[in-house]
Chain A
């Protein structure tokens, strides 16, 4: 079958990844390399903060925009639309908006806050990239959570209201527990995406200032295409693949449980 050809393609590339490493030298180098340590640290911090934040915000939007509100379709579309914007364009839009004289600083000044350096500061660059990624992802994940909300039977709420449960009580006793599965699905899918963030780093910061935005995908790219050290780059790909495989395995299990 044709898909099998395509799959073998992908597997070939994997075996390519593992045949080129010629011993464990590349891994030893990688594990002892302070640069790689900092890359891992930056990637982990980025993921640990960004992904839960995306889940929380998109759930909040889903909860808000599944209420009975006039023109709710319009509000949903406005939140979803950024998800249709290609990643590169998200990057370019936000790099313009986060300029010293860009939109964000203009709004900050208008409400009486000091302008911020954003992408040019080692303290704020990673945060700025996080904003871009979150903005481009929110609406997409919101759709999943809304779909999850629709699966919660209305009768549960009616029963709870008869028992006198208030809005918060219903949120924490019914909605959130029943949203656990869609939310964990979003968290995992989102994590896979965030591990692969590349375009903003390559176009805007080149990993700087001071290595503060050197995420793992960009580091692989520099190792292979800039430094030309294919072996170390491939070893890094394998490390990334192992991390992602663990995440994907969890995701797969979640979906399997879903079917039962």
Chain B
């Protein structure tokens, strides 16, 4: 479509102003996290340009975080998220492969069921489920934290859709050459499926990284607290060090951001598979 020059400038201005406005709070968090303790407040009352430029800042808040409960929480978060990705894919890949390549009775029903169940948001059943986990003695344990995140219907869905798109001739040829179903999956299909694996892995990672309610209910002792819980607890202490909280907020946000930056293509492709193009 052709645009006049003034319309072009107007659009650019609108896009720049509105998207910077959305991004601004995050930038402010980054800058304020460089101000020791609660001293960032002096740049917002009254508002000064130093609230948005980290001149004269230091990393003392980040150093402070290293010695607190947050560092352990971060370690736990990495462990739990890593386990979720590995084990979650180990479940989702065979399930998706079965749903994509095996003809069995009731396949449609099973698939519809997987989708339906995955649409029930996990948080809604987290509270009753947590009392069940209590009965099973799984509270305050890593299996308790990881287990519910493993069954990710969306990851199965994304992988299945991708597997369906792999040409039948390839897998047929593999079978003619004497590869079994499992070997076909491992040697032929998976090497082709990197984008879908990354997309599904991101979904598993984000579902765990952004969780709050479940880790709050299950990871109760300080040794098993995840980073978001540790951070939220910092904010309820008697004397709140907001600088440290902002630094922790930045750390927790920047990790998924960097991952999304690297894997944006695969992730958004997976998103549009789950959402719109059934």
Contact = CB atoms under 8 A, between A and B. Distances in A.
B128 A13 contact: yes
B159 to A, nearest CB: 12
Interface string B234-278: 011000001001100100110011001100000010011001111
Contacts, number: 234
B44 A64 contact: no
Is chain B's binding surface mostly helix, strand, loop or mixed? helix
A148 interface: yes
Interface residues of B, number: 79
Interface string B204-235: 00100110110011000000000011011001
Interface stretch (B119-127, B163-171, B191-199): B119-127
B47 A106 contact: yes
B176 interface: no
B272 A82 contact: no
B41 interface: yes
A118 interface: no
Interface string B7-27: 010011011101110110110
Contact of B242 (A77, A96, A110): A96
B228 A86 contact: yes
Interface stretch (B58-66, B109-117, B182-190): B109-117
B142 interface: no
Interface residues of A, number: 93
B150 interface: yes
A7 B117 contact: yes
Contact of A110 (B18, B20, B46, B95): B46
Given A84-B257, A87-B210, A244-B121, A68 B131 contact: no
A69 interface: yes
Interface string A91-112: 1111111010111011101100
Interface of A: 1-3, 6-7, 9-10, 12-14, 16-17, 61, 64-65, 67-70, 72, 74-82, 84-89, 91-97, 99, 101-103, 105-107, 109-110, 135, 138-139, 143-144, 147-148, 151, 157, 161, 181-182, 185, 189, 192-193, 195-196, 198-199, 202-203, 217, 220-221, 224-225, 230, 233-234, 237, 240-241, 244-245, 248, 251-252, 255-256, 258-259
Interface of B: 1, 3, 8, 11-12, 14-16, 18-20, 22-23, 25-26, 28-29, 32, 41, 44-47, 51, 91, 94-95, 98, 113-117, 119-121, 123-125, 127-129, 131-132, 147-148, 150-151, 156, 206, 209-210, 212-213, 216-217, 228-229, 231-232, 235-236, 242, 245-246, 249, 252-253, 256-257, 260-261, 268, 271-272, 275-278
8 contacts: A2-B94, A78-B22, A81-B23, A88-B252, A91-B232, A96-B29, A182-B275, A195-B124
